[in-house]
A and B are shown apart, each in its own frame.
Chain A
Amino acid sequence: LAKTTQPISMDSYEGQEVNITCSHNNIATNDYITWYQQFPSQGPRFIIQGYKTKVTNEVASLFIPADRKSSTLSLPRVSLSDTAVYYCLVCPSGAGSYQLTFGKGTKLSVIP
């Protein structure tokens, strides 16, 4: 399973764009990159997933360079309710791919 590295914490003011970068140097060809969000005392919630280039949904954008050794989650114009822990995961395909490996994540604090 590919190991991921992301900052432990980040602070941002309301209304700013937040970019959280995750490195995954040993990502495999069939691996997907997935981001989850977790609020205190709740289960993680899927945000976005991608394989390469750029993916955008109503919540966030995910940028993946050509070598796929890193990815950046972009949250536009954050609000106080975006304060949470954000996890970057590399999700393998095939047998055993249910083994999601959650690291410590990035604790985002949005400041008024």
Chain B
Amino acid sequence: ETGVTQTPRHLVMGMTNKKSLKCEQHLGHNAMYWYKQSAKKPLELMFVYSLEERVENNSVPSRFSPECPNSSHLFLHLHTLQPEDSALYLCASSQDQGLAGTDTQYFGPGTRLTVL
């Protein structure tokens, strides 16, 4: 247990569906992240939130919409996805934005998403 939980762990959806991924951290951290990990590709940073404000959006398509209602919760809203969006979506948190260079990111177990 890393103190970061994600639900659901597995999700299968059609291209016209709308679904949401949820992440919760119990570590009192100020920063939260969404990553995407496709098969045989490195982890890709998607979004970064610090103190509930989005500070980074790495050119992610608008069919992915993040939401951070408070410093403990992070959502990723999904709509009209494509089959190539099938991947492991990982949430992480850290104490700050890594300003010290020693700020460790704690990852959740991920949501395995399959788009049909």
Residue positions of A touching B, CB distance < 8 A: 30-32, 34, 41-46, 49, 91-95, 97-105
Residue positions of B touching A, CB distance < 8 A: 2, 4, 31, 33, 42-43, 45, 48, 50, 55-56, 88, 90-92, 94, 97-110, 112
B109 touches A43 (CB 8 A): yes
Q: Which of A30, A42, A98, A105 contacts B48 (CB 8 A)?
A: A98
B8 to chain A, nearest CB (A): 13
A91 touches B102 (CB 8 A): yes
Question: Once the chains are docked, how many angstroms separate the CA of A34 from the CA of B102?
Answer: 8
Interface of A is mostly: loop
Tell me which of B33, B99, B112 has the highest count of chain A C-beta atoms within 10 A of its own C-beta: B99
B107 touches A43 (CB 8 A): yes
A33 to chain B, nearest CB (A): 10
Question: Once the chains are docked, how many angstroms separate the CA of A104 from the CA of B105?
Answer: 18
B43 touches A93 (CB 8 A): no
A46 touches B99 (CB 8 A): no
Residues of chain B within 8 A of A104, CB atoms compared: 42
B113 to chain A, nearest CB (A): 12
Question: Once the chains are docked, how many angstroms separate the CA of A30 from the CA of B100?
Answer: 9
Q: Which of A31, A42, A46, A92 contacts B104 (CB 8 A)?
A: A46
Question: Once the chains are docked, how many angstroms separate the CA of A94 from the CA of B99?
Answer: 4
A41 touches B112 (CB 8 A): yes
A32 touches B2 (CB 8 A): no
**Given A41-B112, A98-B33, are A92 and B106 neighbors across the interface (CB < 8 Å)?**
no
A98 touches B108 (CB 8 A): no
Tell me which of A91, A95, A100 has the highest count of chain B C-beta atoms within 10 A of its own C-beta: A100
Residues of chain B within 8 A of A94, CB atoms compared: 99, 101
A44 touches B107 (CB 8 A): yes
Q: Which of B42, B48, B104 contacts A34 (CB 8 A)?
A: B104
A91 touches B48 (CB 8 A): no
Residues of chain B within 8 A of A101, CB atoms compared: 42
Known: A41-B88, A41-B110. 4 other contacts (CB 8 A): A42-B109, A43-B107, A44-B107, A98-B97
